[in-house]
Structure 1
Amino acid sequence: MGWLGLLPALAVAAIRIAGVNGGPRTALALALLPLAMLPAYPVLVLAALTRRRALGLAAAVNVAAHLLWLWPALPPADPVPSAARAHTLTLVSLNVGSSGLDIVGLDRLLTREQPDVLALQEVKPAYRTALTQVLHAHGLTAGLLRTDQRHLQGGGLWTRLPVLSAELADYPGARWPRLTVDVAGRPLTVQVVHTWPPHSELHRYWSADLLALARAQRDEPAVLVGDFNAGRDHAPFRELLRSGLRDAMGARGHGHVGTWPADRRLIPPLLELDHVLLPNGVHAIDAYTAPAVGSDHLPLVARLGLN
């Protein structure tokens, strides 16, 4: 029974150590790593009580690996320089989901959070009119929208701040809106991200886009926000973090924060797929998930300050 209980932890640890990202099954296993390795803890206790040395050693190694991999997601909250609090903005991100835009829910979200910048993903052409009306009602009149009949790659950025530049940034599998806005006299570049999900036929775009983002970040730092379909247990996402970005949730000491699925009655959001990633000079004053608004993803809210 002990070895059987340890099998999920052993399997996902082996995938993580090998750096395998070769298809939907391994990508899903890695996304579930923080939970899949939990059985190692009771197995370690069982092995100690029954004096089963081999089982205890295997369980102890898994527990140590689990803590080692979780540790970067569990730092104390980063200090926010007082100067950064003089140049602040609120950023909201939402993958509206494949089932359809909940315009009433979006209106409630905007009323509650009052964002200066809004990033949306999975935007269909049919949403344009309704979106324009609700966004203009909340003062989000400037922006850039790219719609797609397949909806997965449709996305947009809107703001109430002065826009210094707007463009569609090209990547191997997508073109994503990118805005540079004026935050109390300081320029800030924000780019929406929505990678293809790591299904077998699209996996090359998923990893290629994450790696291309990492390369671009070294030359043109920006706040990256959206649905990355990845977390720190995926090798391409770790490469993105190594480019100098910090996760806003981690910067506030929140650790693993599940954002998907948000539309299941009996299953809580387990996978951390959505992120706000910050370059040097941008600080997370606060970061949290907002209540679900009709999507299978939870909205992200980040209150940011600039040096």
Structure 2
Amino acid sequence: MVLSVLFLVIVAVPLYPELYGLDELTPFTQLVAFRPQGLVIVFAVALLMLIRKSWRIAAALVAVLTLTGAGLTLPRVTSDPEPPAADTRVLTIMVANVLGGGAKAGAVAELIREHKPDLVSLPEAQVDVREEIRAQVEGYTGYTEQPTKAVESATSVLVAGSLGAVQVRPDLPTSFGNLMITGGNLGQLRLVAYHGFPPLPEDVPPWKHDLTQVRRWCAQDPPTIVAGDFNATLDHADFRWALASNCHSVGPSVGGGLKGTWPSDQPAIARTQIDHVLATRTIRPLKFATYEVEGTDHLAVIATVAVPKDG
């Protein structure tokens, strides 16, 4: 029994490092991004352990652990969107990390022409890449923020003309560029195009810092949508903390929480969802879908939300 409990604790460390205060340490920060896949693997191991009688207590404990985790994850795929209320307007938001220009501009433009998003968030798109895409679509104005010479720091946005005379500016300081869109036909609504620093083994502190800024957007009063590559999943405690009680991610809110967006060159079962459209609570999620884009390691995301007409 003692060995079985010890084995359970050891198995739980990579699956739930936040329980041990290890979720901000490498390699646990990186591993927990793939917790749903880890739960499946560990559950399969638990079933195999049932073969030996002396392992059955440990197998049962581990199975309970994984089934509990699966139960906590299940709402991400079972949540259904509610129909929009009569006093709302529908906005379509697109996110496409273009891998510093590696993505085919024509493929990104084709998605824009087909779905006609109101806002297109383009992480890793410098001005030339942004303009190559914009030249192939009609009715969009482009903006770019690039705080350093690194191509990864560039974040661009395409804003549909239907949003009117908006104002676009960088907002809270983050490691990469971010752009806040306000005014025009948005009313009180704020739109943010965002790219968060990745939790590389030596770079967890800047990753945490950027999520702190996301929390500030989520915690403020104006209705807000933040769209981009967050380099974080709902299995990261820091990301859940950033959402606080006032933000939700559209994908998990409409049953698309396990639609992985990265790495796109791997089978769907091996991907994780790091590209999100976040919305504050007064904004109702409606749809979430992913699309392949040639030349990038991210899937594009297109989400629709219902926003109160007065804001």
Distance 1:273 1:29, change over 3 A: same
2:297 aligned partner: 296
CA drift at 1:55: 1.8
Distance 1:68 1:267 in 2: 21
| SS of structure 2 residue aligned to 1:169 | coil
Counterpart code for 2:150: R
Distance 1:163 1:204, change over 3 A: farther
User: Under a length normalisation based on structure 1, what TM-score does the superposition of the two structures give?
Assistant: 0.85
Distance 1:292 1:130, change over 3 A: closer
Distance 2:9 2:34 in 1: 14
Distance 1:98 1:174 in 2: 13
The C-alpha deviation readout for 1:71-104, integer Å capped at 9, x for no partner, is: 44244213133225x5112111110014624111
Gaps of 5+ in 1: none
Distance 2:169 2:94 in 1: 20
Moved more, 70-79 or 200-209: 70-79
1:153 aligned partner: 153
Gaps of 5+ in 2: none
Paired residues for 1:104-115 under 5 Å: 104-115=106-117
Distance 1:282 1:146 in 2: 26
Counterpart code for 1:281: T
The C-alpha deviation readout for 1:241-274, integer Å capped at 9, x for no partner, is: 224111111121223110011135x676512111
The C-alpha deviation readout for 1:8-47, integer Å capped at 9, x for no partner, is: 9544224242242334522220111110121232334344
2:61 aligned partner: 58
| SS of structure 1 residue aligned to 2:57 | helix
Distance 1:50 1:269 in 2: 30
Distance 2:10 2:40 in 1: 9
Contact 2:177 2:195 in 1 (8 A): no
Residue 70 (structure 2) pairs with residue 67 (structure 1): yes
Distance 1:286 1:181, change over 3 A: farther
Paired residues for 1:179-194 under 5 Å: 179-180=181-182, 182-183=184-185, 186-194=187-195
The Cα RMSD (Å) is 2.7
| SS of structure 2 residue aligned to 1:41 | helix
Paired residues for 1:7-156 under 5 Å: 9-48=11-50, 50-51=52-53, 52-83=55-86, 86-98=88-100, 100-134=102-136, 137-141=137-141, 143-147=142-146, 148-156=148-156
> How many residues align structurally?
298
Distance 2:250 2:13 in 1: 30
The C-alpha deviation readout for 1:224-250, integer Å capped at 9, x for no partner, is: 111110011111101022241111111
Counterpart code for 1:167: R
Contact 2:15 2:38 in 1 (8 A): no
1:203 aligned partner: 204
